[in-house]
Amino acid sequence: MNAGAAIAWGLRRDLALAMRSRAEVAIVLAFFLLVTSMFPLGLEPDPALLSKIAPGIAWVAALLASLLGLPRLFAGDHADGSLEQLALADAPLPALVAGKVLAHWVATGLPLVLLAPLAGIQFGLEPAAIGILVATLALGTPVLAWLGAIGAALTLGTRGGAALLALLVLPLAVPVLVFGAGAVESSRAGLGAQAHLSLLGAGAILSMVFGPFVTALAVRISFE
C-alpha cells in the first residue's frame, strides 16, 4: 500500500470506529463545556472579568479535553493486537498513524472548534473575539493532536495512566496555549492576531510533517 492508501485506510477505519462509539466521543465535548462552566462558578460571574479571561479558559479547557480523548487513539489497538498488525503491514506506518490521528482530530478536535462559540457566549465574548478564538483552535488542535499522539504512543502499556500523559503533553503544549489565547487578547488590544495565527499555522504544518514519523517511532518502541 502506498502512503495515500495507508492514510485513507487509517482514516476510514478509525472514523467507522468513532461512529460506533459516538458516546465516548460526545463525552469529551461535554467535558469541554463542563470545564468552561466551572470557572464562573469558582470565580465570580462578573461579565468584564469573564470576558477578559475567556480565551485563556477556553484554551485550557480545550487542552484538557484533548488530553481526555487521547487514550482512544492507540490504547484500544494496542490491547487487541491491531497496532501490532499495523506495525507489520506492508504500508508505511507513519501514513497509517497519520490516518488515525486525522480521524481522531475529526472526531474530537473539530467538534471542539465548532463548540468554541458556545464557550465564547458563556463568557460574553464579542463576535470578533469568538472568530479569532475559533481560528486559533482550528490551527492549534492539530498540534495538540500530534503532541498527544506522541505522548500516547510513548506511554502505551505503562502504568502511568492519564496523569503521566498529561505531564508529558502539557509542558510541550505551552506555546500553543500562549499563542492561541494570546491571539484573542492581541486582537482586542488592536494589535491584530496575524503573528499569532501565522505561528500557530507554522506549528500545525510542522506537527503534521514530523508528527507521523516520531509517533511511528514511538509506536515501534512500545513493542519492545
Partner 1 sequence: MSDADVADRLEVEDLACAAGIRTLFQGIGFSLGPGQWIQLGGPNGCGKSTLLRALAGLVRPLAGSIRWRGEPVSQARERWHAAIAFQGHLPGCKDTLGAAENLRWQLLLDGEPAGPARLGELLAQVGLERQARLAYQRLSAGQRRRLGLARLVASRRPLWLLDEPTTALDAAGQALFGEILDRHLGDGGLAICATHLELPVRSPAIRLELGGRPRA
Partner 2 sequence: MAGSGFFRFSSPASFYPLAGRLVPVFGWLAAALTVAGLYIGFAVAPTDFQQGEAYRIIFIHVPAAWMAMFTYLVIAGWSAASFVWNTRLSAMMAQALAPTGAMFAFISLWSGAFWGRPTWGTYWVWDARLTSTLILLFLYIGLMALRATIEDPRRADRACAVLALVGSVNVPIIYFSVQWWNTLHQGASVSLTAAPKMAETMLAGMLVMGLAAWAYTIAAALHRVRSIILEREAHARWTRELVR
Residues that bind partner 1 in the complex, under the rule CB under 8 A? 1, 9, 13, 16-17, 20-21, 76, 79-82, 84-91, 223-224
Residues 120-159 interacting with partner 2 (rule: CB under 8 A): 150, 154-155, 158-159
Tell me: does residue 174 bind partner 2 (CB under 8 A): yes
Between 2 and 42, CB nearer to partner 1: 2
State the binding partner of 21 from partner 1, partner 2, none, CB within 5 to 8 A by kind.
partner 1
Tell me: does residue 192 bind partner 2 (CB under 8 A): no
Between 28 and 199, CB nearer to partner 1: 28
Tell me: does residue 160 bind partner 2 (CB under 8 A): yes
Figure out which of the listed residues 29, 95, 138, 168 binds partner 2, where binding follows CB under 8 A: 168
CA–CA distance, 126 with 116 (Å, rounded to integer): 13
Residues of this chain that interact with partner 2 (CB under 8 A) are 150, 154-155, 158-160, 164, 167-168, 170-172, 174-175, 178-179, 182, 185-186, 214, 217-218, 221-222, 224
